[in-house]
């Protein structure tokens, strides 16, 4: 099979944002990842301080401007987040598909954002708040590697076999 079509086991970072926690949706969101045969290999809860927020969103201000960075930072610091490292075949693309478009009003039904959120970019600007979209998911392999290293030490990530892996090997 050509390399561009090869399916590989990857690890990716997912953050359940403060709005997912205050709405009591964490379990329902995690269930969707597990239903897609993604394995949780790291998990922690963290309250992001100013320094850590800057490190996580290191290029956001440069890409989208100070206003977007400040709204995002304020939003992410309003409550704790749950950080997950998920592992599986094509995990990065699979997670992105499960969560849906960044803007919930553009996310199709059946995705996390399409089913549980509704805010548009225009509404965000109108109310002067970040888009409440429940989840952050790494956008590509390089971002996933960087974010996993930022959020987790090596000894906080676990290798184990799921029941499905045991029965298929």
Q: Which of 67, 84, 102 is nearest to 32 (CA)?
A: 84
**Residue of 7, 56, 118, 136 marked catalytic:** 136
Alpha carbon distance 146, 132 (integer Å): 24
Residue 112 neighbours by CB under 8 Å, 6+ apart: 29, 32, 98, 99, 100, 134, 135
CA distances from 73 to 10, 58, 98, 160 (A): 28, 11, 24, 34
Residue 128 neighbours by CB under 8 Å, 6+ apart: 71
Asked if 56 is an active-site residue, the reply is no
Alpha carbon distance 85, 116 (integer Å): 22
Residues designated as active site: 136
């Amino acid at each position: 099979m050509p390399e561009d079509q090869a399916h590989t086991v990857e690890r990716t970072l997912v953050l359940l944002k403060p709005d997912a926690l205050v709405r009591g949706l964490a379990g329902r969101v995690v269930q969707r990842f597990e239903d897609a045969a993604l394995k949780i290999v790291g998990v922690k809860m963290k309250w992001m301080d100013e320094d850590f927020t800057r490190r996580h969103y290191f290029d956001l201000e440069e890409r989208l401007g100070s206003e977007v960075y400040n709204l995002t930072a304020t939003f992410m610091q309003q409550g704790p987040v749950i950080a997950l490292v998920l592992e599986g075949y094509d995990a990065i693309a699979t997670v992105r598909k499960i969560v849906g478009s960044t803007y919930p009003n553009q996310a199709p039904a059946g995705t996390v954002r399409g089913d549980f959120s509704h805010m548009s970019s225009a509404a965000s600007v109108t109310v002067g708040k970040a888009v409440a979209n429940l989840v952050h998911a790494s956008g590509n392999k390089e971002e996933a590697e960087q974010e996993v290293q930022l959020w987790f030490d090596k000894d906080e990530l676990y290798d184990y076999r799921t029941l499905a892996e045991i029965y298929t090997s």
